[in-house]
Structure 1
Amino acid sequence: MRRMLMLFALGLLGGCTNAPVQVGWLAQGGCGQPTAEQELALNLAKDMAADGRAHAALAHLQALPSSLPEVRLRQARIYRSLGRNEAAPLYRSLLGTCLAAEGHHGLGQLAAADGNQREALEQLREALRLSPTDAKVRNDLGLVLLREGRLDDARFEFLTALELDQDSALPAQNLLSLLFYQEQYQQAADLVSRLRLPADLVRQAEERARDMKRQGLTAPLAARQPREDAPLLAQVHKAEPDTGGEVGR
């Protein structure tokens, strides 16, 4: 009986190898692997963007084949940081590839910046479906939900993002702003103590909470231009290391 079960299981496995049905990223279009030289150029462009040399980074990316989805993703992020219209078609070109989640994420960020909340929610939810452990997507979705007045849902996303990426200040800052806005000061104090949040971040969260009360939830949470890989709206003054080039942002 054991032998028959083993043969049956092997038969199932063999059948799966020939099956046309695929799941997850395998069902999406493939991403060609860059050569060692191309990878070096991608890293150079990444470093330039992180140093604030967005135009130089874009020039280096334009020298690489646009057939590589990774190149298009880097270009889209830089164009978005510069407020250029070229970002949207580049993000759309990623849909159906192994970077589809990043494409939907970028389109959601653009829609939110344009005030199109419905489109932003749709795109960010699709990005979340494709990449549920992406803390940046969770953070940005939380911001859009916050602007919709859905405070409990926003808090859930900020908490999830914080637990997924405990090294990122963004979800902590956004969650803290929400707690101050809701006047839940004891929970805010507990969060500051537990995460040992720096004083400047706490001050920024307090200022944002005051702005939200004065101007409404739709008030922008930050005024400065986003970096290449920056999440949607909230950023701390001290930029985080650039992780935008990693597949699975």
Structure 2
Amino acid sequence: MLAGCAQNQPRPVTAEIGSPKTRISCDVDVQPEDRVELEMVDTLMSRDLVYAALAQLQKHQQRNEEYWQRYGQLLAKTDDMDGARDVFTQMRDQCNSGEAYHGLGMIALKQGYLSEALTNFKEAVSRLPASASVRNDYGYALLLEGDFPEAQRNLRTSLELQNGSGAARQNLAVAYILAGNKQGLALLRDKYHFTDDEMAYAHSLADQMRK
């Protein structure tokens, strides 16, 4: 998943994250029993039970990078931005991780630092070019920046990677509306069966972004 770690031995480091000392590992191998726990966490996250998901992670600290990716995400989702930034910074510095740049980009975006977010998202895309979520988040940040051509390219990539579903579906419609791309909007209707309700919502979002 993360090419920067696949070529190296796991290098756990001790770092101050929050108050306790936490050991971050760059190991890309996940043991079967750990995979079961991560899938349970993913289920909770999909139901938006982020505090429960974080508690589940904290029951047993794993020594793999997927664990730390989720840990950083959940700290951010529970508004512990300092803790999340620490986790993703350690992942970036120790593991050379594309997901770390993605996480740092999301934190910067939430805190209103658009230029920093774009820099991190661009690096994440270069490392994880086939990640639909990275492409979507980069595309959304580009929309905020007003770079509609690049936003459309990244959001269209995200949409195709997810076979027409996901958050990029709505974001791409907004990008086409803001860019005045009638051909793109027709594509959404004809190929991806975009509904009138979806289009109306996209227009309302575009109006908000114009203000």
What TM-score do you get using the length of structure 2 for normalisation?
0.80
Deviation at 1:101, TM superposition (A): 0.9
2:29 counterpart SS class: coil
In structure 2, distance between residues paired with 1:74 and 1:99: 16
Q: Which residue of 1 aligns with 2:58?
A: 62
Q: Which has the larger radius of gyration?
A: 1
- Tell me how large the CA RMSD over aligned residues is: 2.3
2:91 counterpart SS class: coil
In structure 2, distance between residues paired with 1:156 and 1:35: 37
Between 196-205 and 105-114, report the one with greater CA deviation.
Answer: 196-205
In structure 1, distance between residues paired with 2:184 and 2:164: 20
In structure 2, distance between residues paired with 1:70 and 1:96: 16
In structure 2, distance between residues paired with 1:166 and 1:32: 27
Contact map agreement 1:121 1:141 (CA 8 A) in 2: yes
Letter in 2 for 1:47: T
In structure 2, distance between residues paired with 1:99 and 1:39: 22
Letter in 2 for 1:40: V
The runs of 5 or more residues in structure 2 that have no matched partner are: 11-25
Q: Which residue of 2 aligns with 1:26?
A: 6
Q: Which residue of 2 aligns with 1:41?
A: 37
Q: Which residue of 2 aligns with 1:163?
A: 160
Q: How many residue pairs get matched?
A: 192
Structure 1 residues 167 and 187, CA, compared in 2 at 3 Å: closer, same or farther? closer
Structure 1 residues 117 and 52, CA, compared in 2 at 3 Å: closer, same or farther? closer
Tell me if 1:130 matches 2:110: no
In structure 2, distance between residues paired with 1:92 and 1:200: 41
Per chain length, whose mean CA-contact separation is higher, i.e. which structure has more relative contact order (CA < 8 Å, sep 6+)? 1
- Could you say which structure has the higher helix fraction? 2
Contact map agreement 2:4 2:96 (CA 8 A) in 1: no
1:57-136 alignment, distance < 5 Å: 57-85=53-81, 86-95=83-92, 100-136=97-133
Letter in 2 for 1:198: T
Q: Which residue of 1 aligns with 2:140?
A: 143
